[in-house]
Amino acid sequence: MLLWLIALVVMLVLWGLVWQRNPRMAFGILLGLPLAWIVSRLTAPYFTGQKPFPVWLPPTPFATVAVTLFVFGAVVWIRGTRAERKSRRD
């Protein structure tokens, strides 16, 4: 228990230093850690052998990357169209 508490304090100090230097990165850490914890809780029974391994789990990282790239591409396309319209007005 003591080792866990020391590790928690060290991680909190490191996060505080990151917050001072780069608040965007610290905010990403703040959102990413709980999300990673939830995903690990949902997938842990499959990796420990308590439940049979589903078919959808191995390609999930590839699908996540593909969807993320699609969303980023759509956002850039929409912003580019707006910027093009604005430049034509000027």
pLDDT in tens, 28-53: 999 999 999 999 999 899 888 899 98
Q: What is the reported pLDDT for 83?
A: 73
Taking the complete model, does pTM exceed 0.75, yes or no? no
The rounded distance, in Å, linking the Cα atoms of 46 and 60 is: 14
Buried b (16+ CB within 10 A) or exposed e, 49-82: eeeeeeeeeeeeeeeeeeeeeeeeeeeeeeeeee
Q: What is the reported pLDDT for 34?
A: 93
